Amino acid sequence: MRIFSVCLIFLLLSLFSPLSVVYTHSSIDFPQVSDGQINEAIAKTVPVRFLPGNPMHFAISLKESFNRFFRPSSLQKAQFDLVTSGKRLKEAYLLIKKGDVKNSSKSLNEYAKRMRIFERQIKKARSQNQDVASFIGKASDDLKIHEILFSAIWQEFALKEDAYNYDINFSAALDAFGEVVKALDEIKPGLSDRYNILKKISPSPFPSPSILPSPSVVESTGSVKPRRIIY
């Protein structure tokens, strides 16, 4: 009966979520990035004075929240959110490079949260007839940097064991990235064509049965959490 229930759940997901796809971490073929590309992306991202784990990082976070509070418009808040999200992704890379999987995972989680907020703010700014179109070019350049950092993080993570929900947080961060690109593409059609990662993981209409966890695996452990990246 339990096996039947699990199979029914996956069937319902495929029927009612036609744009959803379940991935294992090995199913995403990220483009390789060179050291030169990574260094350039790091240089173009806002400087990081203190990494998470440093006692001073909390003070930096408070300062960011304080500065954002005084951004008067939704568009200005969105601009600030994009900058800080890039900073979180840069932290995630620097930390995983150092072998600090725990704090890198936390930074990926914060990146996902910040990008969700950015998406809401940019939609709000558009609904208020703010000049979103002029910001799209800068935003798309920043997101291209994010794409490079995602590939760089994945290259480093591939050499390490999954811990501290890293695989889950990476997936959530990438999902948030895709949703932001989708939102901007609605404003400027064709923008999503710039991003190679989205082409690599473009989902099929229905989940492939070959990548769904088998009922026996799901039954044997309650910790199995299938990855869902939705665009």
Q: pLDDT, tens digit, for every residue of 66-75?
A: 888 888 899 9
Task: Find, among 122, 124, 128, the residue nearest to 188 by Cα.
Answer: 122
Residue 12 is predicted with a pLDDT of 45
Q: Is the pTM of this model over 0.85?
A: no
**Residue-wise pLDDT tens digits, 188-220:** 999 999 998 776 554 433 333 333 343 333 333
CA–CA separation, 116 and 131 (whole Å): 20
99 domain residue, yes or no? yes
Residue 215 is predicted with a pLDDT of 37
Q: How many domains does the chain have?
A: 1
Residue 170 is predicted with a pLDDT of 95
Average pLDDT over residues 149-177: 92
Helix, strand or coil, per DSSP, at residue 31: coil
**Residue-wise pLDDT tens digits, 40-77:** 999 999 989 889 888 888 888 888 888 888 888 999 99
Residue 66 is predicted with a pLDDT of 82
150 domain residue, yes or no? yes
Percent of the chain with pLDDT over 70: 73
105 domain residue, yes or no? yes
Average pLDDT over residues 24-28: 48
Q: How confident is the model at residue 84 (pLDDT cuts 50, 70, 90)?
A: very high
24 domain residue, yes or no? no
Q: Which domain holds residue 118?
A: 2-7+32-230
Q: How far apart are the first and last CA of the chain?
A: 33
Instruction: List all residues 6 or more positions away from 43 whose beta carbon is below 8 Å from its beta carbon.
Output: none
12 domain residue, yes or no? no
210 domain residue, yes or no? yes
Between these two residues, 13 and 154, which has the higher pLDDT value?
154
27 domain residue, yes or no? no
21 domain residue, yes or no? no
Between these two residues, 183 and 20, which has the higher pLDDT value?
183
Task: Find, among 217, 121, 229, 122, the residue nearest to 169 by Cα.
Answer: 229
